[in-house]
Structure 1
Amino acid sequence: MTVWDRPEPPTRPAPLDRERIVTAAIALADEGGLEAVSFRKVAARLDAGPMRLYGYITTKEELFDLMVDEVHAEILPTPTDQPADWRQALHTHAQRTRQATLRHEWLADLLGGRPTLGPNALAATETTLAALDGLADLDTLMRAVQTVSAYTIGAIRREIANLRAERTTGLSKLDWQRTHGPHVTRMLATGRFPTLAKVVHDGTETDAETSFTTGLDWILDAVAAKLTHPPA
């Protein structure tokens, strides 16, 4: 039985429910990452005994599943922001996933594993699948969604890794480039990396948002080609 199927115990002697527990856990994770989340710390924030939490959530994995599903509520399109077609639906879902992860960086550590089965996550999946329904056979639709998801998760994880590296080292991207510039210059001067040298000297620098959006558009172009000309 999943945590969503299991009934909650009575709230006495002090008011407590899964929603309050999950909200407290998310706040802790936002402040210090997933390593800052424990039953003891969540209970302390709620002014409750740690053992009381086990009546609502039995493992940390269940707690993480609930946290991920809660954030999926932020990813779902609003009633006034319903997508006009499949491309906009997948584009919006990817962008809102990135925005939610930038607000909750710990989410990057939990994306891409086994699918969460909470109501918000299921609703997000339904939205993307429904937008594609009828455009191709089911296997093609699933591969389309999985391909966009793989790009989205990979790009987000890389962006979050860079943000964490900046905080850990204290070096911004520009500072890092200045620090390692002499080494890169010496290596490129050997002539062993001519293509890389052209990229470094002549390539255009883009910010994270532009890079993410450009890559997403390319992926969606590829999906559109498959939907127009499905494999035999």
Structure 2
Amino acid sequence: MTVWDRPEPPPHPVPLDRERIVAAAVALADEGGLEAVSVRKVAARLNAGPMRLYGYIATKQELFDLMVDEVQAEILPAERPADWREALRVLAHRTRQAALRHEWLADLLGARPGLGPNGLAVTEATLAALDGLTDVDTVLRAVETVGAYVTGAIRREIAHLRAERDTGLSERDWQRASGPHVTRMLATGRFPALARAVHDGTDVDAETSFATGLEWVLDAVAARLAPQP
């Protein structure tokens, strides 16, 4: 039985329910990451005994599942675009925006599909964008491909943000500090492709990089959807 199927305990003099528990857990994770979330810490935030929480959640993994489902409500747009490409684009960008608001989400993306109401709604919206345009197996592979890109790109961006905080160096500061070493290594002539990328490549911000890569992935999906000669 999943956490969504299991009934909550009867009322108690000190009000408590899954909604309050999840809100407290999300707040803790927003402040200190997933490592800041435990049944004991959530209980303390709610001024409740830890054992009371086990009437609502059986494991910390269930708590994480509930937290992810809560945030997935932020991903669904008010209206689904009729165009499949725009629908997937909107979902991808809204997923990135949710992860930037809740960085811990990046650590939980790409796991088993969410079975909560919001997770199922996100999955339904994603599949519905392509439903009827091609066979179901092609739809599944396309959705997996877009999802893999979105998850990977978000994790990379969040990792960069964490590195900036951990080191106290912005990306630009890190590049300046690493510049002498990189210059010496490129001068050996052993890395010609990397040298061209460093000297001739255009530096873009994270949002532009994400959007560009997403469009290339959607181009690949469009090519699969196009009638084959």
Q: TM-score, normalised on structure 1?
A: 0.97
Q: Structure 1 residue 198 and structure 2 residue 189: aligned?
A: no
Aligned to 1:188: 186
SS of 2:73 mapped into structure 1: helix
* Counterpart code for 1:5: D
CA distance in 2, matches of 1:125, 1:215: 21
Which of 130, 133, 136 pairs up with 1:132? 130
- 1:108 corresponding residue in structure 2: 106
Give the secondary structure class of the aligned counterpart of 1:105.
coil
Give the whole-Å Cα distance in 1 for the aligned partners of 2:208 and 2:47: 44
Residue 13 of structure 1: CA displacement?
Answer: 2.1
- Residues in 2 aligned to 1:196 and 1:116: alpha-carbon distance in whole angstroms: 40
Q: 1:1-232 to 2 correspondence within 5 Å?
A: 1-78=1-78, 81-229=79-227
Q: Which runs of 5 or more structure 1 residues have no equivalent in the other structure? A: none
Identity %: 78
What amino acid maps onto 2:32 in structure 1?
G
Return the alpha-carbon distance in structure 1 between the equivalents of residues 138 and 202 of structure 2.
35
Gaps of 5+ in 2: none
* Alpha carbons 2:131, 2:139 under 8 Å: kept: yes
CA contact (8 A) 2:80 2:125 kept: no
The question of whether the paired residues in 1 share the 8 Å contact of 2:22 and 2:67 is answered with yes
Instruction: Name which of structure 1's ranges 21-30 and 11-20 shifts more when overlaid on structure 2.
Output: 11-20
- CA–CA distance in structure 2, aligned partners of residues 166 and 104 of structure 1: 17
In structure 1, give the amino acid aligned to 2:44: A
Q: Secondary structure at the match of 2:203?
A: coil
SS in structure 2 at match of 1:75: coil
Bigger Cα displacement from structure 2, 96-105 vs 83-92: 83-92
Q: Secondary structure at the match of 1:74?
A: coil
Shift of 1:131: 1.5
Shift of 1:166: 0.4
Q: Distance in 2 between matches of 1:34 and 1:195?
A: 39
How far has the Cα of 1:195 moved from its partner? 1.3
> 1:82: how far off?
2.5
SS at match of 1:136: coil
Partners of 1:229 and 1:147 in 2: CA distance: 20
Shift in Å at residue 115 of structure 1? 1.4
CA contact (8 A) 2:57 2:63 kept: yes
Task: Find the residue that maps to 1:6 and give its secondary structure.
Answer: coil
User: C-alpha offsets along residues 161-201 of structure 1, whole Å, 9 cap, x if unaligned?
Assistant: 00000000001001100111001000111111111111100
- Which amino acid in 2 is paired with 1:133? D
RMSD between superposed Cα atoms in Å: 1.1
How many residue pairs end up in the alignment?
Answer: 229
